[in-house]
Structure 1
């Protein structure tokens, strides 16, 4: 089964960096799931954490930033790499310790797109800046 990102690629577009949601950002769902497992409702929380983890995709390609969240109700953001004005990183103390945070992608004419609980957000931002520089140099 191909991912949303792979299926969305256009001709001559290649994936440069793939980001993931951090399992640490789902700690509250996992903890509730384990605590409430004897009451069966814990399965609901564990399933919710699993679905959120598996259905969040984000990638930087040679041409754009692609984000897909959700399974049944899907939400996508695709911004041309040359139209992105900034990629901000917001990390709490827990996020700094376990290396996850919120990315806020702002583009020309595009509303801000916050992405919560992303693993290694500084590495994602660095990969984006490098891809944007390569795209600008190649234009």
Structure 2
């Protein structure tokens, strides 16, 4: 678990599910980097961008909220309490379905939609969220 998620956990809060960025979603950057590598090593920059996206994107469901963090130098975060989440959408292209990655779009009460692109196993993320939301709803 990353330090950002650890820093925002409240008392009695625990991580229930952690999603990761799919390496398949980074394939275009890797290929572009390979093609441009002979051009003064410019391709390495594309590999660095892919690597930074991979390590700096977090998507976590805790027993109380959903936390999404993007960015390495500049940071963009979204935290939605489970009861405030109105919907979770999954968008997958044909290739994404075959390789099991896609975008997860979280929409909350009063908040704009928050897309998280290139997540591995997005259907499992949505399933886990639905389970936790049902559990949370039965406790209130």
Question: Does residue 83 in structure 1 map to residue 88 in structure 2?
Answer: no
Q: CA deviation at 1:3?
A: 2.2
TM-score normalised by length of structure 1: 0.96
Distance (whole Å) between structure 1 residues aligned to residue 101 and residue 3 of structure 2? 22
> How far apart are 1:38 and its partner, in Å?
2.5
TM-score by length of 2: 0.95
RMSD value over aligned CA atoms?
A: 1.2
Aligned-partner SS, 1:32: helix
Aligned residue in 1 for 2:44: 43
Give the match for residue 117 of structure 2: 116
Moved more, 35-44 or 125-134: 35-44
SS for the counterpart of 1:111 is coil
State whether structure 2 residue 65 is matched by structure 1 residue 73. no
Q: How many residues align?
A: 139
Unaligned runs of 5+ in 2: none
CA distance in 1, matches of 2:20, 2:53: 11
Written as runs of structure 1 = structure 2, the 5 A alignment for 1:1-139 is 2-39=2-39, 40-139=41-140
Instruction: Find the residue that maps to 1:125 and give its secondary structure.
Output: helix
Write the distance in 1 (CA, Å) between the matches of 2:125 and 2:51.
Answer: 22
For the residues of structure 2 that align with 1:87 and 1:7, how far apart are their CA atoms? Answer: 25
* Structure 1 gap segments, 5+ residues each: none
Report the alpha carbon displacement of residue 2 of structure 1 after superposing the two structures with TM. 4.5
